[in-house]
């Protein structure tokens, strides 16, 4: 929905997902002012999603200028589990082993299950141990009665189950994305293919699975497995169990699948698609608060548009890979400056070199006057010999002919060339301060501190005329008028800029507050789809340090740990509690971090500056020091820096 003063209240969305080639946005409002989503529920996801889904979003209408006001998403509940006909938990009174792989389950009330749906069993004991063949996700083999059903186990438990500790069915199935380890070897005549996952997949026969990322060498795509699209397959059979939970499944071999030896495995071959929880952005006064998010890849995610002020507070995120993840670095639409190429292209009737001076080119326009004068800068393009192309200062011979000097000698004449006069560009400099002008009818909307990309400014005479100090990513220093802005150059240009320079907003979140959130991460290991991270500020498609994407950051009083009784003793290498990237100034204070990592990444920064740490601890009260990943050095505590400043003041 798009507009102003929209309020979505007490809405319930179910069976959501997409079958097209783009992301699904379940409940999203966009506009200029005061759009709110609150007290709503998003659950029971589609079992056949084709792409990622963003569950709840309130955003401004202009991703560059962040012109939205008071966007809010608050007090909502989302659950990304596959429901499998879930109608509520049902208590189990007994589970009998009637064969090595078949169990008879009896409930205290009607179980409300169908044979076509999965069965999830939790709480059964064997010799006092929960890790046994009765617990997990299973296929129902028979509905015996309203209170009895049979299901297939992947191992022999050896005895009946002990249900005295409280056993229930009716749970949803986690939508956790599973990484594929390999495709078992197959022959051209085989009808089926076995796929092995790196972790138990929680899928059963009859289910449809989405597979992403298997391609054909070299980096090509067959009609069966495509490294860049999602394909869908029905599970025919589930393979042997690993620790009572299967990690193999069989699908019908798709038509046109390449030979097994030609399969290519990139770094992320996946079963399933991800979900992103509630978020408000692209404006000022954007608030995401009081939401309860369960079983999502990312609980609060943004990657599009600038935001002036973002507050994320008092949320509960459970069973997630990322709590808060800001994946920034993209840019807005490219806009033209106020000056540039204004003449039409003049085609060459002939373009030759001077045999006496092979570095000199002679351009003849035939019967059309070229219109240039001596010392004009002219852009030559399209010449069949590349050495003739570039921006050159010319000498007029007559109304139809001019000459210019090339950086390298030529041995043959060229065809297909054209010439365009270049005016002085819209970007100028006074020493290291550059000024960029935009058309009067199109004010830029930039503010001091915004990140901006400048491109296509040309300095003639360089081997690469575009490789000059005017171009790159910069921080706007001042805004003298709605049609001009300034920025600092890294070095002095060797000449005046020509051409048609462009500018584009580099999206930022200028002021970010993340506070008092409870973040319960998924238990993961080295075979997981992702490394758990409590809150992460990251860049995407961005390099260089001329501008910071997060100018002001404050993370405080967040509680970060694990769901389901804690994580493994060794987590994947990227595991972190709080991770700050490309921040210009930040404070991380009073956070409780119980993140298990083999690297010093409980609380860290990268490619940032002016980040301070104060009183971050684990639940046992141990101090957690900030770590600078760029330098490999632990950072001083904020109180240490204050004490040092006081000492030096005497």
Give the mean pLDDT of the chain: 84
Q: State the residue for tokens 């109304």.
A: 399
* pLDDT tens, position by position, 253-264: 877 676 776 665
Choosing from 407, 422, 437, the residue where a domain stops is 422
Name the residue with tokens 């010319």.
394
Shared-domain flag, residues 78 and 119:
no
Flag whether pLDDT at 552 surpasses 80. Answer: yes
**Residue in the structure block whose two tokens are 């005479």:** 461
**Is residue 338 in some structural domain?**
no
Instruction: State whether 542 and 640 are in the same domain.
Output: yes
Residues 450 and 563 in one domain: no
Please report, rounded to a whole number, the percentage of residues in the chain having pLDDT higher than 70: 87
- Do the Cβ atoms of 376 and 324 come closer than 8 Å? no
Residue 164 placed within a domain: yes
The separation between the first and the last C-alpha atoms of the chain, rounded to the nearest angstrom, is 61
Query: Does residue 438 sit within a domain?
Result: yes
Do residue 237 and residue 286 come from a single domain?
A: no
Same domain for 533 and 633? yes
Please tell me what DSSP assigns to residue 318.
E
CB 506 within 8 A of CB 549: yes
Q: Which of 120-124, 135-139, 227-231 has the lowest mean pLDDT?
A: 227-231
Q: Do 528 and 616 belong together in one domain?
A: yes
Model confidence pLDDT, tens digit, residues 415-456: 999 998 877 678 999 999 999 999 888 899 999 989 899 998
Q: What is the CATH number of the domain that holds 412?
A: 2.40.30.180
pLDDT, position 132: 92
Residues belonging to the chain? 650
Full DSSP string of 334-364:
-EE-S----SPPEE-SEEEEETTEEEEEEEE
Sheet holding 77-79, edge to edge: 12-13, 41-42, 77-79, 292-294, 316-320, 518-521, 559-562, 592-593
Count the domains in the chain: 6
Q: What is the DSSP string of 150-167?
A: EEE-SS--SS--B-TT-E
pLDDT: is 309 or 172 the higher one? Answer: 309
Of 401, 422, 443, the one marking the end of a domain is 422
* CB-facing half-sphere around the CA of 629: CA atoms within 13 A: 17
Residues 75 and 108 in one domain: no
Question: Within a 10 A sphere around the Cβ of 498, how many other Cβ atoms?
Answer: 25
Q: How many helices (H) and strands (E) does the chain have?
A: 1, 61
Domain check: are 149 and 191 in the same one? no
pLDDT band at residue 148 under the 50/70/90 scheme: very high
Per-residue pLDDT at 225 exceeds 50: no
Last residue of a domain, one of 366, 390, 422: 422
Positive or negative: CA dihedral 328, 332, 337, 340: positive
Residue 555 and residue 623 in one domain: yes
Burial class (CB in 10 A: 0-12, 13-18, 19+), 148: middle
CATH number at 481 reads 2.40.30.20
Do 438 and 476 form a contact (C-beta atoms < 8 A)? no
Specify the pLDDT at position 539: 67
Least confident of 56-60, 557-561, 573-577, 612-616: 573-577
Better pLDDT: 141 or 172: 141
Residue with tokens 């805004």: 479
Q: Is residue 201 part of a domain?
A: yes
Please give the helix or strand (H or E) that residue 627 lies within, else none. strand 627-628
Burial profile 362-380: b = 16 or more Cβ within 10 angstroms, e = fewer: bbbbeeeebebeeebbbbb
* Residue 268 confidence class, pLDDT cut points 50, 70, 90: low
| Whether residue 526 is found in the same domain as residue 612 | yes
Domain enclosing residue 301, as ranges: 7-83+274-320
Cα 285 to Cα 289: distance, rounded to the nearest angstrom? 12
Neighbours of 356 (CB within 10 A): 6
**189 DSSP 8-state letter:** T
Distance CA 456, CA 59 (A): 32
Residue 333 lies in a domain: no
Predicted local confidence at residue 571, as pLDDT: 63
pLDDT at 490 over 50: yes
Q: Does 126 lie in the same domain as 153? A: yes
Q: Percent of the chain having pLDDT more than 90? A: 42
- Residue 301 token pair: 């995610």
> Could you report the per-residue pLDDT of 622-648, keeping only the tens digit for each?
888 888 888 888 888 776 665 555 445
DSSP state of 624: -
Omega of the bond leading into 218 within 30 degrees of 0 (cis): yes
Give residue-wise pLDDT tens across range 349-377.
Answer: 999 999 999 999 999 999 999 989 998 88
Residue 418 included in any domain: yes
* 541 falls within a domain: yes
Is 326 domain-assigned?
Answer: no
- Are 263 and 280 members of one domain? no
Q: Where are the beta strands (DSSP E) in 491-634?
A: 498-506, 509-515, 518-521, 533-539, 552-556, 559-562, 576-581, 586-589, 592-593, 603-606, 611-614, 627-628, 633-634
- Which of 6-20, 487-501, 591-605 has the weakest average pLDDT? 591-605
Please give the structure tokens belonging to residue 2. 């798009």
Token digits of residue 233: 């397959």
């Amino acid at each position: 929905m798009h507009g102003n003063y929209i309020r979505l209240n007490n809405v319930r969305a179910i069976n959501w997902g997409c079958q097209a080639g783009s992301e699904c946005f379940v409940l999203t409002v966009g506009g200029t002012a005061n759009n709110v989503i609150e007290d709503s529920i998003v659950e029971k996801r589609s079992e056949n999603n084709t792409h990622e889904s963003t569950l709840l979003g309130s955003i401004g209408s202009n991703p560059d200028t962040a012109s939205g006001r008071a966007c809010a998403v608050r007090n909502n509940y989302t659950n990304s589990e596959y429901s499998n006909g879930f109608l509520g938990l049902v208590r189990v009174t007994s589970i009998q082993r009637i064969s090595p792989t078949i169990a008879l389950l009896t409930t205290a009330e009607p179980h409300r299950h169908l044979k076509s749906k999965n069965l999830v069993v939790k709480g059964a004991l064997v010799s006092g141990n929960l890790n046994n063949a009765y617990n997990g996700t299973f296929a129902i083999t028979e509905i015996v009665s309203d209170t009895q059903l049979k299901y297939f186990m992947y191992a022999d438990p050896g005895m009946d189950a002990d249900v005295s500790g409280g056993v229930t069915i009716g749970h949803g199935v986690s939508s956790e994305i599973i990484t594929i380890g390999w495709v078992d070897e197959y022959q051209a005549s085989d009808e089926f293919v076995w796929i092995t996952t790196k972790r138990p997949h929680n899928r059963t026969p009859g289910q449809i699975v989405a597979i992403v990322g298997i391609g054909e060498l070299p980096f090509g795509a067959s009609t069966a497995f495509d490294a860049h699209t999602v394909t869908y397959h029905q599970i025919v059979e589930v393979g042997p169990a690993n620790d009572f939970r299967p990690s193999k499944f069989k699908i019908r071999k798709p038509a046109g699948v390449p030979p097994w030896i030609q399969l290519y495995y990139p770094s992320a071959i996946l079963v399933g698609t991800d979900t992103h929880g509630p978020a408000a952005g692209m404006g000022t006064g954007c608030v995401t608060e009081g939401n309860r998010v369960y079983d999502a890849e990312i609980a609060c995610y943004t990657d599009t548009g600038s935001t002036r002020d973002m507050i994320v507070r008092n949320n509960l995120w459970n069973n997630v890979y990322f709590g808060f993840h800001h994946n920034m670095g993209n840019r807005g639409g490219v806009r033209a400056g106020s000056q540039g190429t204004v003449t039409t292209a003049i085609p060459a009737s002939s373009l030759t070199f001077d045999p006496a001076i092979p570095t000199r080119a002679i351009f003849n326009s035939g019967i059309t006057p070229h219109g240039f004068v001596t010392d004009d800068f002219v852009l030559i393009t399209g010449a069949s010999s590349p050495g003739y192309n570039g921006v050159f200062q010319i000498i007029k011979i007559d109304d139809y002919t001019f000459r210019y000097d090339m950086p390298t000698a030529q041995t043959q004449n060229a065809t297909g060339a054209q010439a365009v006069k270049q005016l002085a560009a819209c970007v100028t400099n006074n020493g290291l301060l550059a000024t960029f002008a935009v058309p009067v009818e199109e004010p830029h909307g930039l503010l001091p501190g915004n990140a901006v990309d400048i491109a296509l400014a040309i300095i003639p005479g360089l081997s690469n005329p575009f490789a000059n100090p005017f171009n790159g990513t910069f921080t706007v220093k001042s805004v003298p008028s709605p049609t001009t802005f300034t920025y600092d150059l890294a070095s002095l240009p060797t000449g005046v800029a020509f051409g048609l320079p462009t500018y584009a907003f580099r999206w930022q979140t200028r002021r970010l507050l993340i506070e008092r959130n409870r973040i319960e991460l998924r238990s993961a290991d080295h075979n997981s789809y992702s490394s758990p991270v409590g809150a992460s500020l990251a860049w995407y498609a961005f390099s260089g340090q001329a501008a910071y994407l997060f100018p002001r950051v404050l993370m405080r009083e967040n509680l970060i740990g694990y769901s389901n009784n804690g994580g493994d003793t060794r987590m994947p290498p990227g595991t972190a509690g709080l991770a700050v990237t490309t921040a210009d100034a930040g404070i991380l204070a009073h956070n409780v971090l119980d993140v298990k990592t083999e690297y010093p990444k409980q609380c860290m920064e990268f490619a940032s500056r002016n980040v301070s740490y104060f009183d971050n601890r684990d639940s046992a009260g141990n101090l957690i020091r900030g770590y600078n990943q760029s330098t490999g050095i632990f950072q001083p505590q904020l109180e240490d820096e204050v004490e040092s400043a006081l000492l030096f003041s005497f």
